[in-house]
A and B are shown apart, each in its own frame.
Chain A
Amino acid sequence: MGKGKLYRVLMHFTTPLHIGEKEKIYNITQTFAHSDMLMSGIINAYSLLYGNSSTNQLVESFLQKSLPFEISSTMPYVGNEFFVPKPIGLHLHLYKDRGIIEVEKDKEIKKVKFIREKDLLSNFPGKYRVAGSFLQPKDMLHKFGDSEKAPSLGKIKERARVSIDRLSSSSNIYYFSHFEFKDNAGLWFYLRINDQSLEDKVKAAIRLLGDEGLGGDRTCGLGSFKVNFEECSMPEENDRTKYYMSLSLVNPQSEDEIKSALYYEILTRSGYIYSKAGLGIKRKAVRAFAEGTVFSGKVCGRVVDVTPQNFSQHRVYCFGLAFLVPLPEGVMMIGN
């Protein structure tokens, strides 16, 4: 974890969003972009603005572990409330037994995917209840002006697409699903800038990414967003910090780092290359610890070379550096 300036970057989507086939958008968890995808978008935008050679320099500094900037994965926000993924291994049943979380049925607890950041980082002062996949303070429902049930981020829609033969006008129909965010909801991520000289350029790249779009079908109007940079700070860690949660994908760089993962989930990240030199070529698949993985100490992670064979124009990397937040003292984990 660097010590640079920290920003909360708000992405307010002005158009619907489509994120890859593997994350077919059926529920809320699958509507956000992982850190490797976000980073690849930022680097691509950077390269559009500043050209190949300065982009190579930037990528090189990531490989040398002198991180010019760090990012987390994207996470949902509704109104002014920022959510983070539930730490894997958080013992919510224990919180229920102590009267902190109220539920009607035990199985509701299983559905919790997101927790307000400030609740998690202050170890749940107050009373909470489960609303869909969100865990939120008991008296917060009215804030979203939603139905009784849960705050909603938006809706999934399917759009029909058709290609038409130029001469015979015969048609071929296919479907594309996308997610439409509500006006007061969207995605956010952390951006920590360690190299001040790059601050303007990185921000410019993120603004450009907003205009270019994130995810699929961008040239047909999907995935564009407006950005807002909010300066913020993170709670200081101290000697008694026992757990660190990752807000990004982590690809461990050593065996020690693998061993320090206490509660984890493993994702396979694959997909296609998108760059000026190559489109639609499959990159190598890698596995990474998902967001919400809890580590016993600080880990760094690494950038993985996933260049496919027979692709020589440039190297292709998958971003797997960790963005950690220290969990507060007294947080209750399973088996502890």
Chain B
Amino acid sequence: MDVILKGKYIIKCKIKAVTGLHIGEGNNSIEIGGIDNAVVKDAEGKPYIPGSSLKGKMRSLMEFAEGKVKDDLMVVAVKKGDKPEICIHMCDDKECPVCGLFGRNHGKHVTKKEFLKDPKAEGRDFSDAVIPTRLIVRDAKLIESSITDEMKENLDLEWTEVKFENNIDRITSKANPRQSERVPAGAEFSAEFVVNRYEVDGSDDGEKYLSKFIKAMKLLEDDYLGGQGSRGNGKVKFVDIEIFYKDSSDYEKDSNDLKPIATAPSLDQL
């Protein structure tokens, strides 16, 4: 297989937390609805959005949107005894928009359907379809000025708020309170995404994967990021979007003067 890089689409934008954002640090538990959670922070103690959270969420949403969440299209990623514990979509279809954009894993995979039939199934090797992953998602760093002095007055911690939550026993009314740390609504993060444009065995990707990626961004806006999203957390909006195209020949030059090929204040206007 011959894969040549034609160029890179670099999408720079801000991610705005429309509601409080909670991405767990995972010291205790990271399960959705987990308790007493801190949020992830970088080495300077500032909260950020890990690239893996963004990428994982977008992949998951794309799988639903592209109709890939079916027993025969999902592979078992983690198994617990005879049960398929974690299943995600992965396939060897070279045209698959999800795998093409977000990447495939190497090695052998068992589909959920096969696994339910026979937990000892060997699985298939997808190697023929594996090429370098097109999408790179960088960590989104907090824009410090987005948390204003006025906001800071009302925050419990330097950059974040502490939200109290409660479980109440339906009969005895016994309370079981817990705390959860959140990045306050209004915080902004600077994000960068890269979509590689490849020429695989002579056929050029063109803008196919870029438009699929924009679809994934739109899906994310209407979903949530991080934990406790069904209870208000994690609504995000992409603002001040700039898309650059860096041709592979640009790498032979010293300077990096790129002009955006598209700009928009929000996704709807792109």
Interface, chain A (partner B; CB < 8 A): 14-16, 48-52, 154-155, 157, 159-167, 169-173, 175-176, 180, 200-201, 203-205, 207-208, 211-213, 217-222, 224, 276-281
Contact B52 A161 (CB under 8 A): yes
Give Cα distance in the complex from A212 to B130, angstroms: 17
Give Cα distance in the complex from A161 to B24, angstroms: 10
Interface, chain B (partner A; CB < 8 A): 1-5, 8, 24-27, 29-32, 40, 42-43, 50-52, 55-56, 60, 63-64, 69, 74, 77-78, 85-89, 102-103, 105-107, 127, 130-133, 135-139, 194, 246, 248, 251-252
With contacts A166-B74, A171-B31 known, is A160 near B26, CB below 8 A? Answer: yes
Contact A218 B252 (CB under 8 A): no
User: Can you sample 19 A-B contacts with CB below 8 Å?
Assistant: A155-B43, A159-B40, A160-B27, A160-B30, A162-B30, A162-B56, A166-B89, A167-B69, A171-B32, A172-B78, A175-B26, A180-B42, A204-B252, A207-B251, A212-B136, A220-B52, A224-B138, A276-B1, A277-B1
With contacts A16-B139, A49-B248, A201-B252 known, is A160 near B40, CB below 8 A? Answer: yes
Contact B5 A170 (CB under 8 A): no
Closest Cβ neighbor of B74 among chain A residues: A166
Give Cα distance in the complex from A280 to B130, angstroms: 11
Residues of A within 8 A of B78 (CB): 163, 172
Give Cα distance in the complex from A47 to B72, angstroms: 35
Residues of B within 8 A of A176 (CB): 52
Closest Cβ neighbor of A274 among chain B residues: B132
B234 to chain A, nearest CB (A): 14
Closest 7 CB pairs of A and B: A160-B26, A221-B51, A280-B106, A204-B251, A279-B106, A220-B52, A155-B43
Give Cα distance in the complex from A176 to B136, angstroms: 17
Residues of A within 8 A of B30 (CB): 160, 162, 171, 173
CB < 8 Å neighbour of A281 from B4, B31, B106? B106
Closest Cβ neighbor of A218 among chain B residues: B136
With contacts A52-B2, A171-B31, A175-B26 known, is A219 near B136, CB below 8 A? Answer: yes
Residues of B within 8 A of A208 (CB): 5, 248, 251
State the majority secondary structure of interface residues on B: mixed
Give Cα distance in the complex from A176 to B52, angstroms: 11
Contact A157 B43 (CB under 8 A): yes
Contact B85 A170 (CB under 8 A): yes
Contact B136 A221 (CB under 8 A): yes
Residues of A within 8 A of B26 (CB): 160, 162, 173, 175
A272 to chain B, nearest CB (A): 8
State the majority secondary structure of interface residues on A: mixed
A223 to chain B, nearest CB (A): 10
Contact A166 B252 (CB under 8 A): no
CB < 8 Å neighbour of B4 from A51, A159, A163, A212? A51
Contact A276 B3 (CB under 8 A): yes
Contact A221 B139 (CB under 8 A): yes
Instruction: Point out which of A50, A154, A204 has the most chain B C-beta atoms below 10 A from its C-beta.
Output: A204
CB < 8 Å neighbour of A280 from B69, B107, B194? B107
Contact A48 B132 (CB under 8 A): yes
Give Cα distance in the complex from A170 to B50, angstroms: 20
Closest Cβ neighbor of B63 among chain A residues: A166
Closest Cβ neighbor of B89 among chain A residues: A166
With contacts A162-B26, A207-B251 known, is A51 near B88, CB below 8 A? Answer: no
Contact B52 A166 (CB under 8 A): no
Closest Cβ neighbor of B251 among chain A residues: A204
CB < 8 Å neighbour of A49 from B63, B87, B135, B251? B251
Closest Cβ neighbor of A173 among chain B residues: B30
CB < 8 Å neighbour of B55 from A15, A51, A220, A276? A220
Contact B106 A159 (CB under 8 A): no
Give Cα distance in the complex from A119 to B26, angstroms: 45
Instruction: Point out which of B40, B64, B132 has the most chain A C-beta atoms below 10 A from its C-beta.
Output: B132
CB < 8 Å neighbour of B86 from A15, A161, A170, A213? A170
Contact A48 B40 (CB under 8 A): no
With contacts A49-B248, A219-B136, A276-B3 known, is A163 near B40, CB below 8 A? Answer: no
With contacts A160-B26, A276-B1 known, is A219 near B103, CB below 8 A? Answer: yes
Residues of B within 8 A of A201 (CB): 252
B227 to chain A, nearest CB (A): 10
Residues of A within 8 A of B135 (CB): 219
Known A-B contacts: A204-B252, A220-B51. Give 11 more (CB < 8 A).
A52-B2, A160-B24, A165-B86, A165-B88, A166-B88, A171-B30, A204-B251, A219-B137, A222-B51, A279-B106, A280-B107
Give Cα distance in the complex from A14 to B140, angstroms: 11
Contact A48 B50 (CB under 8 A): no
Contact A15 B138 (CB under 8 A): yes
A128 to chain B, nearest CB (A): 29
Residues of B within 8 A of A165 (CB): 85-88
Residues of A within 8 A of B2 (CB): 51-52, 276
Give Cα distance in the complex from A91 to B175, angstroms: 67
Closest Cβ neighbor of B88 among chain A residues: A166
Residues of A within 8 A of B102 (CB): 219
Give Cα distance in the complex from A169 to B26, angstroms: 16
Give Cα distance in the complex from A172 to B131, angstroms: 26
With contacts A165-B85, A166-B88, A219-B137 known, is A278 near B51, CB below 8 A? Answer: no
A331 to chain B, nearest CB (A): 37
B158 to chain A, nearest CB (A): 17
A199 to chain B, nearest CB (A): 9
Instruction: Point out which of A154, A213, A279 has the most chain B C-beta atoms below 10 A from its C-beta.
Output: A279
